[in-house]
Amino acid sequence: MVVLSAADIRAGMLAAGGAPVAKVVPSQQVVEVAGVKHTLEDEYQWLRGKAWPKLVEDEDIIAHLEAENAYCKDFLASLGGLQEAFFQTMKGRMKLTDRTIEVRHGGYYYYSRTEEELQYSIDCRVPLAAFDALKKSGPVPDAALRGAEEVILDRNKLAEGKAFCKALGTTVSLNGKVMAYRVDTQGDENYCLQFVSLESDYLPDQLWNVASYCFHQPADAAETGAPPVGVFYSLRNRNLRPTKVFYHRLGDATDGSQDFAPNDRLLLESKNEMFGVSVGTTADKEFVTVRHSSKTENEVLAIDVADGELRLVNLLPMADDVEYSVSKSGPHWFMRTKAGCQRDHFRLERGEWADGGRSEALSHTAAFSGATDYSTNSVVVVLDTPSLPTTWYDWDWEARGEPACDAPRTRPGHVHDKSLALHETLHASDDPKYADSAVSVPVTVLYKKSLFRQDGSMPLLLEGYGSYGISEEPAAKFLSKKRTFLDFIAVADKLADDKFTSAGNVAIVGGSAGGMLVGACLNMRPALFKAIVAHVPFVTVLDTMLDGDLPLTPGEFKEWGNPREEHYFDVFPSLFATAGLSDYRVGYYEAAKWVARLRAGVAAAKAEAPDGAVNEPLLVFETNMAAGHAGASGRFDRLKEVSRDVAFLATEFDVQDVPGKLRRTSG
């Protein structure tokens, strides 16, 4: 099997032609900022469906996306089976038949497992007595557990006949008789809440557009066997924002003609479009909590499950730029809050129950972990480090010896061929040469020690995100957003100067807001990078943030700024871009417009250059027509997406050793 070099593949694709060219349709939008009107021109605005984020049915748009997918398919075919080779290699390193750690809930232990060639997980449970009997002789073998288990949700059966199917949020009532879960079959995150009687079959109750939910049931239902009475849930509005909390009594009619049942009771509505609501329960099951929050502040309200009036009590009034969360065990409420912290750290304090009000609120706080089950003797500790597979430790406080380690049974859903042996953390901006900032930028470098040469010859894959405070020192928002891009470039420059790699030998990867990062870096320093992979990239920022009707726009003003406010308004390597047609978080049209504009720019450069002498980049774009923001739903389909990216990057870097003992040649 012969695999051509990157130069040969690029030359072949460009010579064959066929790269889709988006039609140009003049379009203008007039935006008024501080009394001054501005005209924005976008010749590719037609790529955004008229009904988006609902189903895209515009024939011209579908035809263009399918043409892009066909071009992508031709490109992947030109790699000579490289994607499939990577896929089989990665799949071969996964433990295909696997199960998670068992978690106690009510009268059962619950877990999920996967089978050899099945795409989706299977949720199961085993009665406490049966599991404890099996565990007496040591770790429970899969075969023994299988003989005692009850399958409560087989996602493979649920997904039959569907191109996309994601079922999550599975919850079983404390008495063990009713199960609920949310299911999305389009990839648009429009979840339908389904109810199942574990003693019979599906219950007729169905609730659409549910963002979060929890059962209304007595706190002692596990002991008394009392059934759940109803369900609290947050409902998304027409713009897909969770703005209302309803109470639904199980058994009340739901005909599917509207999102909530006619008799459902409205408990809370958020009138501020920058805020959303969600529901949950305290660990001791005595209270339902309602979180009303924006990106920077929140309040938590509580409902005593024994209160027949379902009255909401505000635990602590909202304050600007103050976030907090609560938990409860016995008579004590715990609060984790940013109040009084100089940075985005949290403090912990414990206090007695009080009906809200700052005078009775907690005065100080220290970090603690949530999701605590006070009825069990064990705790699950997760070790997550870039150089190792995720490892789960099930620690029983009453047992002696070492905790049970479940690393062999718990493998990541995405497997990257790294085989790493060394892990360093560097700081890339101590030298003013790299950034005009005194803030150090940490970067974690991982490589296989036996193959590494610090002589500048090694290819480098640099991953970044850089938004929503996901950094060591949250900053670079609003008018200083450019700092994110400068820091990322500073890291690449530093690694090149220190001979970890060299300029032009760096690939960068980012998704969603990270797609904005790599896209901006492509514009600012194209010669620094060899290849870019941008997943569902957020690259039409001004267009998106000007549209207040989009699902995420108002809530994102605290991250990107509001371009309708005056002080915010003024302010090429090879590319593989992806999108999901049902993605309401980052519209498919963002990547489509971006690639179309890049292609148009290349064409213009060729037209102006003598003899058309332009180093033309390879621009490939693929839209998953049956998925949304997170890509494919099946574990093997997701792995194929990873292998596609790796095959693209391996080709761009002319990697010589590839899976299956294939060796690259130049022809």
Tell me the domains of the chain and their CATH numbers: 6-92+414-663 (3.40.50.1820), 377-412 (no CATH)
pLDDT at 111 (0 to 100): 94
Lowest-pLDDT choice from 97-106, 424-433, 630-639:
424-433
Q: Nearest to residue 495, comparing CAs of 464, 538, 539?
A: 464
pLDDT at 171 (0 to 100): 94
Is 662's pLDDT higher than 80?
no
In the chain, the percentage of residues whose pLDDT exceeds 70 is 72
Are the C-beta atoms of 480 and 435 separated by less than 8 Å? no
Using 50, 70 and 90 to split pLDDT, how confident is the model at 505? Answer: very high
Per residue in 211-231, pLDDT tens? 999 999 999 998 999 999 999
| Coil, helix or strand at residue 394 | strand
Per residue in 304-360, pLDDT tens? 999 999 999 999 888 888 888 888 877 888 888 877 654 444 444 555 444 443 333
Angle at 577 between CA 42 and CA 591, to 5 degrees: 20
- H or E segment and range at residue 195: strand 192-197
Conformational region of residue 402, where left means phi above 0, alpha means psi within -120 to 50, and beta covers everything else: beta
Greater pLDDT, 418 or 479? 479
- H or E segment and range at residue 247: strand 242-249
Using 50, 70 and 90 to split pLDDT, how confident is the model at 371? Answer: very low
Per residue in 1-14, pLDDT tens? 445 566 666 666 66
Rounded Cα distance between 158 and 119, Å, is: 11
Rounded Cα distance between 540 and 523, Å, is: 14
Using 50, 70 and 90 to split pLDDT, how confident is the model at 660? Answer: low
**Mean pLDDT score of the chain, rounded to an integer?**
80
35-63: average pLDDT:
84
Compute CA 31 distance to the chain's CA centroid, rounded to the nearest angstrom: 32
608-632: average pLDDT:
82
Tokens standing for 299?
């309040």
* Dihedral sign from CA coordinates of 47, 50, 51, 56: negative
Rounded Cα distance between 339 and 566, Å, is: 31
Per residue in 136-187, pLDDT tens? 888 888 888 998 999 999 999 999 999 999 998 899 999 999 999 999 998 8
Greater pLDDT, 351 or 495? 495
Is 30's pLDDT higher than 90?
no
Rounded Cα distance between 244 and 235, Å, is: 5
Residue 311 burial (CB count, 10 A):
11
